[in-house]
């Protein structure tokens, strides 16, 4: 049987839609509400790397806090971005999904199909 983990925000329609797509594929995923239980720095960095993204790609730039913290500046390092994401999980873009086939930041939602059986 296939397994999946979703780093989920139930208030986000994209995250809810991806969760439903996983369930429609016959998988009941492990759901991690990352705002309540943020990933460790190591886990987050691993998700980003496995997804083939840069750290900046994984930051939720539309979040007002991103601007407030000055994270848009070109001299902000990946380490500083990771620190900000761990300290303020609302800055983590969503949803990340992990299956045996890999990891993806499923934005747009259709990207989840790349890693579902």
Report, as residue numbers or ranges, the catalytic residues.
12
Q: Are residues 57 and 91 in contact, defined by beta-carbon separation less than 8 angstroms?
A: no
Asked if the peptide bond before residue 95 counts as cis, ω within 30 degrees of 0, the response is yes
Q: Are residues 21 and 113 in contact, defined by beta-carbon separation less than 8 angstroms?
A: yes
The dihedral formed by the CA atoms of 46, 52, 54 and 57, expressed in degrees to the nearest 10: -110
Q: Are residues 1 and 26 in contact, defined by beta-carbon separation less than 8 angstroms?
A: no
DSSP state of 38: P
Tokens of residue 25, six digits: 């594929």
């Amino acid at each position: 049987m296939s397994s999946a983990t979703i780093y989920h925000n139930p208030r986000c329609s994209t995250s809810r839609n991806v969760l439903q797509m996983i369930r429609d594929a016959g998988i009941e995923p492990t759901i991690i509400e990352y705002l309540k239980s943020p990933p460790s720095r190591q886990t987050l960095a691993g998700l980003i790397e496995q997804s083939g993204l840069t750290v900046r790609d994984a930051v939720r730039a539309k979040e007002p806090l991103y601007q407030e913290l000055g994270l848009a500046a070109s001299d902000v390092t990946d380490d500083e971005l990771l620190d900000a994401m761990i300290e303020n999980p609302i800055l983590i873009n969503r949803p990340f999904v992990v299956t045996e086939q890999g990891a993806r930041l499923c934005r747009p939602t259709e990207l989840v199909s790349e890693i579902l059986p």
